[in-house]
């Protein structure tokens, strides 16, 4: 079945409200989309939102690669060769995971629709529903408690706090949440590389009697070696994020034993196939899988969920990247009830394009 038409475009998706992380304030997000149409009328949709500071690729570069190289090349290709098509782009654009992700996801969506089969079932479904965390940006303790109350009312049970500027205030927020909500919430924190080793030690000391489920990427990737000085039980709580970009870094980190958890993002590893490569390295090392995201369209969030549900060692979801969008180009894909995410069904990614 031939791909008869392809188009790529960039859309700036507004956030319902801005938020702050250790590095910056976020007001809106650029997402790049790729649509592939088959000869029988089926359309596959892919999306990408790479972070330039993490993967050295901007949405503008992704769009340029798609428009100038991928769109003319992919037109006329057979969707049944989707694996070869994905592999070609990895060779053609090394180190450009946003470009890979957009095409990888679009091809998976089109191929699954061609087979009349959800992507997760093509690979083998291991999970049907898992709870996701929702994110609270860096803010004072009072604001944190107010936002947590909103999430409690909505049925969410897992909070991820953005931290990394002040370990004393970060610890205060964790402690007050657990006191005020009587341990209703499971708490995760994400320092976004904002800590020094001493600040991380201080946060761990202050929260020692308060359960923190995991800590995402506390130090800059180039400072990871300092983590070797932590006890093994503390390193098992750490989730690699900015340090984990592809299967090579996954293998290296696994050999070093610095992290007990891998935060896999399709925007870092280049889509579904790249994510499975990392997952295959993590499994024999006993590393748990934590599926994360940027601020992304429902398109790529759904793709991540299908991938996560096809891995039996998936333990954590943090796929709230589309929850705060004020607009999108599709609906469907997944549903969230009482904080639990599940796939809505339908072939491919089960998406419906908005007109």
**pLDDT average, residue stretch 59-72:** 97
Q: Is 9 helix (H, G, I), strand (E, B) or coil?
A: strand
Percent of the chain with pLDDT over 90: 92
Distance CA 50, CA 60 (A): 10
Q: What mean pLDDT do residues 314-331 have?
A: 95
CA 181/CA 176 separation, integer angstroms: 8
What pLDDT, in 10s, does the model give residues 33-45?
A: 999 999 999 999 9
Structure confidence at residue 23 as a pLDDT band (50, 70, 90): low
Helix, strand, or coil (residue 335): strand
Question: Given a cut of 90, is residue 248 above it in pLDDT?
Answer: yes
Nearest to 350 by CA among 45, 98, 107: 45
- In the predicted model, is pLDDT for residue 21 greater than 70? no
Rounded-to-integer distance, Cα 310 and Cα 10, Å:
29
Please write the tens of the pLDDT for every residue from 142-200. 999 999 999 999 999 999 999 999 999 999 999 999 999 998 999 999 999 999 999 99
Its sign, for the CA torsion 239, 242, 248, 252, is negative
128 and 154 Cβ atoms separated by less than 8 Å: no
Domains, the chain, ordered by start: 3-117 (3.30.390.10), 121-353 (3.20.20.120)
User: In which region does residue 12 sit, left (phi positive, over 0), alpha (psi from -120 to 50) or beta (all else)?
Assistant: beta
pLDDT at 183: 86
Structure tokens belonging to residue 305: 């969920």
Residue-wise pLDDT for 278-297, tens only, equals 999 999 999 999 999 999 99
Q: Is the pTM of this model over 0.85?
A: yes
């Amino acid at each position: 079945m031939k791909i008869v038409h392809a188009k790529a475009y960039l859309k700036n998706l507004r956030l319902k409200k801005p938020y702050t992380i250790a590095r910056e304030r976020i007001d809106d997000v650029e997402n790049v989309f790729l649509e592939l149409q088959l000869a029988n009328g089926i359309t596959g949709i892919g999306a990408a939102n790479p972070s330039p500071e993490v993967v050295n690729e901007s949405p503008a570069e992704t769009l340029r690669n798609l428009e100038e190289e991928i769109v003319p090349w992919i037109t006329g290709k057979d969707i049944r060769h989707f694996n070869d098509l994905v592999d070609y782009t990895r060779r053609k654009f090394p180190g450009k995971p946003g470009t890979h992700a957009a095409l990888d996801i679009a091809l998976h969506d089109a191929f699954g629709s061609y087979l009349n089969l959800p992507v997760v079932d093509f690979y083998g479904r291991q999970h049907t529903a898992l709870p996701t965390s929702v994110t609270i940006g860096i803010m004072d303790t009072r604001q944190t408690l107010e936002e947590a109350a909103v999430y409690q009312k909505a049925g969410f049970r897992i909070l991820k706090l953005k931290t990394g500027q002040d370990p004393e205030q970060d610890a205060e927020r964790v402690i007050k949440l657990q006191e005020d909500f009587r341990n209703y919430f499971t708490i995760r924190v994400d320092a976004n590389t904002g800590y020094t080793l001493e600040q991380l030690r201080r946060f761990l000391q202050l929260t020692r009697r308060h359960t923190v489920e995991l800590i995402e990427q506390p130090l800059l990737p180039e400072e990871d070696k300092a983590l070797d000085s932590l006890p093994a039980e503390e390193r098992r709580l750490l989730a690699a994020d900015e340090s984990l970009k592809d299967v090579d870094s996954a293998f290296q980190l696994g050999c070093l034993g610095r992290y007990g958890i891998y935060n896999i993002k399709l925007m870092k590893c280049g889509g579904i196939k790249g994510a499975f490569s990392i997952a295959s390295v993590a499994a024999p090392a006993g590393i748990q899988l934590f599926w994360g995201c940027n601020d992304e369209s429902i398109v790529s969030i759904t793709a991540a969920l299908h991938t996560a549900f096809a891995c039996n060692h998936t333990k954590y979801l943090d796929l709230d990247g589309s929850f705060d969008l004020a607009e999108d180009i599709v609906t469907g894909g997944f549903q969230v009830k009482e904080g639990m995410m599940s796939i809505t069904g339908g072939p491919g990614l089960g998406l419906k394009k908005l007109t």
